[in-house]
Amino acid sequence: MFKLVRDWFRRRKYRKGRILSVFVARDIRRDVLVVSAAKIEEGIITGQVRTVNVLHVAKGLIPQPEFDAPRELNVTTLWSVSDKA
C-alpha cells in the first residue's frame, strides 16, 4: 500500500516538462527540468540540472546558466548538497 501511494506522489511531482527548484544552501539553488519519468517506479528520472548562486545572478555578476545535458537522476539523492546531482 505504501508503495502505491509513494509511486502516485512521485508520478504527480516528477511530471515531464516540470521544473523543480530547491535551495540546497543559503544562496545556491538547484533547478531540475524533468525530461522523462518513465522509470519513476524505480526512483529514477531523466532530467537536466542547473545549479546557480542566486546572489551572483541577482547582482548581474554572472548570466543565468543553461541546463546541463539530460542524465538519469535518483530522486532520493536529488537535493543532497554533496551529490553533484
Q: Is 14:78 a contact under the CB 8 Å cutoff?
A: no
pLDDT above 70 as % of the chain: 94
Q: 11-37: per-residue pLDDT in tens?
A: 899 999 999 999 998 999 999 999 999
Q: What's the burial of 34, exposed, middle or buried (CB within 10 Å: 0-12/13-18/19+)?
A: buried
Q: 51-69: per-residue pLDDT in tens?
A: 999 999 999 999 999 999 9
Q: Would you say residue 14 lies in a domain?
A: yes
The residue segments making up the domain with residue 62 are 2-74
- Number of domains the chain is built from: 1
pTM: 0.83
84, pLDDT greater than 60 = no
